[in-house]
Structure 1
Amino acid sequence: MSVTVREPTTGTPSRQPVKTYRPELQGLRALAVLMVVVYHVWLGRVSGGVDIFLLVSAFLLTGSFVRKVEGGKPLHLVKYWLHLFKRLLPGVVVVLLAILVATALLLPRTQWEEVFSQTWASLFYFQNWELAASSVDYYATDHSAASPLQHFWSLSIQGQVFILWPLLFAGSAVVSRFLKTRFRTVLTVVFSTLFAASLAFSAWETATNQTFAYFDTRTRLWEFALGSLLALTLPYLNFNRVLRVILGWVGFVGMLSCGIVLQVEAEFPGYIALWPLLSAACIMVAGQSGSRFGVDRVLTFKPLVRMGDNSYALYLWHWPLLVFWLVYSEQSAAGFMDGAVLIGVSILLAILTTRLVETPVRSWTWASTRRHRMGIVVAVSVALVAAPLSGWQYQVNAEEQAVASQSSEDNPGAAALEPGFEYLGTPDAALKPLISNMGGEWADYDGECKGIWEPTNPVLESCDYMGNPDTATRTIVALGDSHTQQWMSAMGPVARANNWLVILIHKPGCRYAAPTPESTPECNEFNEASKAYVMERTPDAVFTVATRTEHSSPEETLVEGYEEGVQGFLDAGISVVGIRDNPRFEFPMPECLETNGVDSPECNLPRSQVLAEESPLVALGASMPKVGTMDMSDKFCIDDICPGAIGNVYVYMDLDHLTQSYLETMLDDFGARFGQATGWASVAKIPVP
């Protein structure tokens, strides 16, 4: 695919000579990546340096393509893309392979699936979308360490733009030829429109869903568009030396101060990101001032320029080294000395990767002369990661299938608590579920709410059902947070066996109750909307978690505002069931058991440390006798111990959420107690699967 357009020979549009190499830009890139590294390692904050990197990339990319088109050269897009990824992938491959090795050695199996999916996403440049999806997933925060691949989000956006921008150049060249208009004019219109649209969308999405917006390609396009507009207009800017010196230092100070003054990770990428980008733009406009007082004297300092040559590899290495060091040292942040060592090792690995991998591949004549040869290099690079990753995933999946095929005798779960129980399973049967599959231990729904059960209030974003809406004889609406959601693994099978319909309306971190000053405005609004939803549809029963436990503490209280929150349901003749909260821990239980053993005292804590001696449900039952209560704590705590595994089944999938595998071993007991709490006498018995 190639496009050739010859510009009219009406004189050069530039009032400054075109410079294809500007050492101050390499210094700027080095400064930007050093800001990223220093802020990550020592300050635990985001600097805005990544945004500057994106700006400079678009600036250089645009200048290169404009020179091609104005020189009448074909674009050869396919060749460009192959050459680009031939240059980018070798360093990525080295770092990804190192991350896989470190994952196997240092990370718990609970994080393997995340690393698998994010490695694929990083390799194929869609890691930002992978993170965008998990950033709005409350349960993604249950991991004990940040992802060692998290920093690939910006590289993924950059890779996507490196595919999109050449298409815009090619399309603009065709339009330019058709309209007999200058190529730069068409590009200016295209990128101005893209800049305005993306910036407006970025400001809106950042205000409404900042965690998703941070990784959204669409919210970052304006940053690239600004770099392209700068490349198009810079030849027409001719400031005097004094003004360029002033611009350079203003940009330098603004760039360095951004991450200190702004909480970048909480406010970007909306219009606030103009701060670091306009600062960098000032430096780029200042260019080579020719003054000994200009900021370019700093940016062209040879060690800094050489650092710019290694900036890509430095960005690749610094984050996984930091994450794995924190995991190994069991720290939440690096100190001054170990942080300095981390930065030093990152720089060393960056230099080695550039010299031994990136530069040889980039300058390899054989691979650069033919498109199919470049394609071979790209394919081999991908295969070097895909092959071991696929093999590892296959092995883990085979283990998961083997565990899933074990019988109920191998993994009796709660059945092991029955009087006279005798274990008849295989002596060496594995704990269920496999620890690497904990992410799949949430309930399976039959679909999203539809018909009369579909919420009309946009505040109720999450609504799922279990059962048959068309034939159900009773309807139960479950309200609350993830601790309500976890019980759907038991409620769902019970509902299906009894031909009931269960509707789950939930919001992570928002337990159902009447609005209180202690709750966030968003939670109060959600609970008000949940109450209105129930009152409009009048189901047969409402299911909630009525108490709140604390991590590794016997403190347990009735949910603030609970009584007021359910009174309206009772007045409307709707049954209310409040279940007791389960114990919570300060550590991920599966990882504790994997590290210390199933019978270790570090994981099997005394009941007195994690659960109150008397449930607040006792007082609730006395004050509101119409509320049915359920206390399942006898299924989590045996005598005076609350173990992490019972009957060869993990009880908890993380710090405080129950596994689907364990809940499915207590269905009959759960159904009987729910029937007693509602007064629904005939509840079908459900055998253990």
Structure 2
Amino acid sequence: MTQEAVAAPERDGRRNTLPDRSYRPEVQGLRALAILMVVSYHIWFGRVSGGVDIFLLISALLLTLSFVRKVETGRPLKLGGYWLHLFKRLLPAVVVVLLGVLTATAMFVPRSRWTEILSQTWSSLFYFQNWALAANSVDYYAADQSVASPLQHFWSLSVQGQVFILWPLLFALAAFIARAAKLRFRIVVLLVFGAVFTASLTFSIYETYTNQVHAYFDTRTRLWEFAFGTLLALSLPYLKLPQPLRVLAGWIGLAAMLSGGFILDVQGQFPGYVALWPLIAAALVIVAGETGSPVGADRFLTWKPLIRLGDMSYALYLWHWPVLIIYLIWRGREEAGPVEGAAIIALSLVLAYLTTRFIERPLRSPAWTGKKGRAVIVIAVCVGLAAAPVAGWQAGLRLENERVQSAADVNNPGAAALESDFVYEAAEEAELLPLLDLAGSDYADLSAPCTGRFATDAPALQGYACTEYVSATDPDKVLVAVGNSHVQQWLAAIGPIAEAKNWTLIGLARGGCQFVDYSEGISQECNDRNSQALDYILDLHPDAVITTATYSIGEYPHELLPGGFLATANAVMDQGIRFIGIRDNPRHTVNMATCPEDYGVDSATCNPDYESVRAAESPLLEMGAMLPAMRLLDVDDLVCPGGTCPAVIGNVRVYLDENHISATYARSMAPALMPRLLDALNPADSRSLVQLAH
């Protein structure tokens, strides 16, 4: 982004005059150094540098200088024209990169990642990627992020895009207040953005402490960093240090900038108060300015190659991350070595130069500058160029899925193939369900909120945490399935039974929170959810509560009895509510959803021996001895038939990752599960379901 003019302070009560100099090359050099930090830390060190935070500060600094100058020289803000001009400059490079990522995705990325990347293309194009990642980052059910998305870096651009809309509105508000109250504009700006700084920093510290992963992407936790840049811009005319101090400040700032990514856990501690480190470091460099000293840091920052790099820093930021991630996906690597990293940087520099030279610069030419009609055309064409292939691609995937689903009864029987009299009549080369691009998201849907008499005000049960998975107007029974993501998966199997029997099925699912008493304080969030879920259950008094009664792990002994389970089970059963415990399904060491494509559907990897993932003796036997009144349900014969625990049964993917049963396969288990569940609900039958299943 080009630098804007620097406004000087008011003098003697008169409107300030413009400074002699409107371009600060050391700031452009600072931008170049920040992008070098971001790129090198990402590619070679696998760390976050704090360079993005410096970008946020510089963006706010330049935006503030521009708007303060406009107001104090009496020019109209013309916000509509500003936004059109801004996004006319930003979007073309974005779209070029998005199209490049889509092309590379089709060529080098496994189909299992397509849905995620297509979805993130929309959020990147329309500047809400940070919110998508914030939701995804705290979503226990999210896809494996061991290899990040090639569009993940758009989170910071989305935050900036949102601030580029908000900040001018705040300047307009400050100008209105200044005129109405007859106050100096800078005083009002100081008050407005000082309030933003204080509120956002306070919230950022709190959310970083309580929910750091979400806070990292949250716009609200980042506003104070922009406000810091605004307050710095207001302070610059008054920060007149002697030359020796400016030289010292410049070098201290540079040293702090370059070392912060190693000294601090940027990814794990930001953006709370720790983010002050890179911001203060950059501020010291900016305050130092052009010192005129032969030993000043500005001599380095105004080096022509660094200035040229600063000119294409935007394009370099856009390109470096997708080039890195696409390479890692293509080569199946977790990191790039020194030589590979150098090649990635070189390719990113070439792409950044071409994008700057042939996309960005032409659109900044006088022929295009300031013409609203042309800006509208550029923005519309950019949106269309990116939206068309994404929409077409997604439509093609939907049509393919519908085609495969239309023959699923014959081609994809799932658990029905385990029946003794089953005859497989599928077409040759019938595709697996769910299709690979949908496999990782094949969870039971939790989108229907609890309503009416099933609604709750409990804070921990809001949103997807309380869902009416099956609703009946006048239900014969009400069942509540409560627990973690391994309970959510059983909703898909129990749902068809509930529909056939006119039951209402309520789901209280939260990833990582088994329905036990976390009395040791292992997880306060789970304690809160379980306490409120128990109150909900006791108040509702359903016909039965269903949960997982064991806990599977990926290593020997493979299955455990969860601590704190007896307390919650007894609390429910003491109120005369039937309690049904299901044996947890196996956990594997590979992604079983993609295993058929990675290793072959008949490979040993995709068909591990039963003893390699399951305990020699079912823990349910011990659980049944401790809680004889509880009904216990073992369905290992449906997920581990014939002495193996396969990735595919009846041409259906059993899992959506390494440990969660896919909703498609779970639904196919409903006919076999129905008689067992009915037996468990039969008050006249005193046998445990362990006896019934074995």
The alignment's TM-score, normalised by the length of structure 2, stands at: 0.91
Q: SS of 1:147's equivalent?
A: coil
Letter of the structure 1 residue corresponding to residue 257 of structure 2: M
**One-letter identity of the residue aligned with 1:498:** K
* Structure 1 counterpart of 2:380: 379
Tell me which residue corresponds to 1:176.
178
5+ long unaligned stretches in structure 2: 1-8, 686-694
> Once superposed, what is the RMSD of the aligned Cα atoms?
2.6
Tell me which of 105, 108, 119 is aligned to 2:107. Answer: 105
Helix, strand or coil: the match of 2:151? coil
Where do residues 383-532 of structure 1 align in structure 2 (5 Å cutoff)?
383-438=384-439, 440-445=441-446, 447-450=448-451, 453-461=454-462, 462-468=465-471, 471-515=474-518, 517=520, 519-532=522-535
Structure 2 residue aligned with 1:94: 96
| Residues 554 and 106 of structure 1, relative CA distance in 2, 3 Å threshold | farther
Residue 600 of structure 1 aligns with which residue?
Answer: 603
Aligned ranges 1:359-370 → 2 under 5 Å:
359-363=361-365, 365-368=366-369, 370=371
Cα separation, 1, equivalents of 2:502 and 2:612: 40
Aligned: 1:678 with 2:681 = yes
8 A contact 2:85–2:370 mirrored in 1: no
Compared with structure 1, are the counterparts of its residues 339 and 28 closer, same or farther at alpha carbon in structure 2 (3 Å cutoff)?
same
Describe the SS at the equivalent of 2:547: strand
Q: Distance in 2 between matches of 1:13 and 1:302?
A: 35
2:498–2:504 contact (8 Å) kept in structure 1: yes
Query: Residue by residue, what CA displacement relative to the aligned partner does 1:315-349 show, whole Å, maximum 9, x if unpaired?
Result: 11111122122212222222333223322322232
Specify the code of the residue in structure 1 equivalent to 2:406. S
Q: Deviations over 1:592-616 (max 9, x none)?
A: 2234443333322222322233321
- SS of corresponding position for 1:664: helix
Indicate conservation of the 8 Å contact 1:250/1:279, yes or no.
yes
Match of 2:575 in 1: 572
Q: Distance in 1 between matches of 2:244 and 2:282?
A: 18
Q: Distance in 2 between matches of 1:381 and 1:568?
A: 59
Match of 1:264 among 236, 258, 266: 266
Task: Give the aligned partner of residue 284 of structure 2.
Answer: 282
Work out the CA distance in 1 between the residues paired with 2:326 and 2:541. 52
CA positional deviation for 1:54: 0.7
Check the 8 A contact 1:254/1:276 in 2, yes or no: yes
Q: Which moved more, 1:483-492 or 1:206-215?
A: 206-215
Q: Structure 1, residues 142-187: CA drift from partner, whole Å, max 9, x if none?
A: 3552111110011111112112222333333344344443332332
Say whether the 8 Å CA contact 1:644–1:652 is kept in structure 2: yes
Compare 57-66 and 191-200 and name the one that shifted more.
191-200
2:595–2:606 Cα contact (<8 Å) kept: yes
Q: Is the alpha carbon distance of 1:62 and 1:418 closer, same or farther for their aligned partners in structure 2, counting shifts above 3 Å?
A: same
Q: State the Cα distance separating 1:140 from its structure 2 match.
A: 1.3
> 3-state SS of the aligned residue for 1:509?
coil
- 2:590 matched residue in structure 1: 587
CA deviation after TM superposition for structure 1 residue 432, in Å: 1.8
Amino acid at match of 1:585: H
1:341 paired residue number: 343
Distance in 2, matches of 1:191 and 1:497, equals 59
Alignment-derived partner of residue 691 in structure 2: none
Work out the number of aligned pairs and report it. Answer: 675
Partner of 1:504, secondary structure, is strand
Farther off after superposition, 437-446 or 629-638: 437-446
Instruction: For residue 479 of structure 1, give the secondary structure of its aligned residue in structure 2.
Output: strand
Q: Which residue of 2 aligns with 1:648?
A: 651
For 2:471 and 2:327, the matched residues in 1 are separated by 50
Q: For 1:443 and 1:72, how far apart are their aligned partners in 2? A: 59
Q: Distance in 1 between matches of 2:521 and 2:196?
A: 43
Q: Match of 2:134?
A: 132
Displacement of 1:641 in angstroms is 2.5
Deviations 1:376-400 (A, max 9, x none): 1222222221222222112111111
Distance 1:169 1:620, change over 3 A: closer
- Shift in Å, 1:439: 5.2
Q: Which amino acid aligns with 2:606?
A: C
Report the secondary structure of 2:668's partner residue.
coil
Could you tell me which residue of structure 1 aligns to residue 630 of structure 2? 627
Residue of structure 1 in register with 2:4 after alignment: none
Contact residue 15 and residue 237 of structure 1 kept, 8 A: no
Change (3 A) 1:553 1:411: farther
Structure 1: gaps of 5 or more residues: 1-6, 683-689
Rounded to whole Å, the distance in 1 between the matches of 2:556 and 2:388 is: 46
Give the drift of 1:56. 0.4
Letter of the 1:417 counterpart: L
Are the counterparts in 2 of residues 16 and 235 from structure 1 also a CA contact under 8 Å? no
Contact 1:366 1:373 in 2 (8 A): no
**Partner of 1:302 in structure 2?**
304
> Following superposition of structure 1 onto structure 2, how do residues 33-52 of structure 1 map, counting pairs within 5 Å?
33-52=35-54
Following TM superposition, by how much is the alpha carbon of 1:662 offset from its aligned partner in structure 2, in angstroms? 1.2
Task: Provide the rounded CA distance (Å) in 2 between the counterparts of 1:429 and 1:245.
Answer: 71
Q: 1:446 to 1:286 in 2, by over 3 A?
A: closer
Residue number among 75, 78, 102 corresponding to 1:76 in the alignment: 78
Assess if the C-alpha contact under 8 Å between 1:515 and 1:528 holds in 2. Answer: no
Which SS does the other structure have where 1:642 is aligned?
Answer: coil
Is the contact between residue 10 and residue 16 of structure 2 (CA under 8 Å) also seen in structure 1?
no
How many Å separate the matches in 1 of 2:446 and 2:133? Answer: 24
Query: Deviation of residue 467 (structure 1)?
Result: 3.6
Give 1:624's aligned amino acid. Answer: L
Letter in 2 for 1:102: A
- In the TM superposition, what is the alpha-carbon distance from 1:456 to its structure 2 partner? 4.8
Task: Tell me which amino acid in the other structure corresponds to 2:613.
Answer: V
* 1:113-141 per-position Cα deviation (integer Å, ceiling 9, x unaligned): 11111101111111111112212211114
Q: In structure 2, do the counterparts of structure 1 residues 83 and 267 end up closer, same or farther at CA, with 3 Å as the change threshold?
A: same
Mapped pair 1:616 → 2:619:
yes
CA distance in 1, matches of 2:522, 2:68: 55
Question: How far 1:498 moved relative to its partner?
Answer: 2.2
Cα distance, 1:546 vs. partner?
1.5
Q: Is the 8 A contact 1:108 1:591 kept in 2?
A: no
Give distance in 1, aligned partners of 2:164 and 2:466: 39
Moved more, 470-479 or 655-664: 470-479
Kept in 2, the 8 Å contact 1:14–1:236? The answer is no
* In 2, Cα distance between equivalents of 1:614 and 1:579: 15
Q: What is the CA distance between 1:515 and its match in structure 2?
A: 2.6
* Residue of structure 2 in register with 1:687 after alignment: none
1:115 counterpart residue number: 117
Give the TM-score normalised by structure 1. Answer: 0.91
Cα distance per residue 1:216-263 (max 9 Å; x no partner): 222212211221121122112212112222322332232223222222
Using the alignment, how far apart are the partners of 2:540 and 2:561 within structure 1?
27
Q: 1:437 to 1:52 in 2, by over 3 A?
A: same
Provide the C-alpha distance between the structure 1 equivalents of 2:614 and 2:328, rounded to a whole number of angstroms.
31
- Which digits, 9 at most, give the CA deviation of each residue in 1:280-311, with x for residues without a partner? 11211111122233222222222222221121
Asked if 1 retains the 8 angstrom alpha-carbon contact of 2:16 and 2:72, the reply is no
SS at match of 2:409: coil
- Partners of 1:165 and 1:623 lie apart in 2 by 62
Q: Alpha carbons of 1:81 and 1:571: their partners in 2 closer, same or farther (altered >3 Å)?
A: closer
552 and 332 in structure 1: CA distance in 2 versus 1, 3 angstrom threshold: farther
Give 1:87-236 correspondences, 5 Å limit. 87-143=89-145, 145-236=147-238
Q: Tell me: CA distance 1:530–1:76, structure 2 relative to 1, closer, same or farther (3 Å).
A: closer
SS at match of 2:217: coil
CA deviation after TM superposition for structure 1 residue 631, in Å: 1.2
- What amino acid sits opposite 1:87 in the alignment? R
Q: Give 1:464's aligned amino acid.
A: T
Letter of the aligned partner of 1:390 in structure 2?
A: A
Please say if residues 46 and 264 of structure 1, whose CA atoms lie closer than 8 Å, have aligned partners that are also in contact: yes
Structure 1 residue 24 displacement after superposition: 0.7
Distance 1:518 1:72 in 2: 60
Select 1:353's aligned residue among 355, 368, 371.
355
The equivalent of 2:664 in structure 1 is: 661
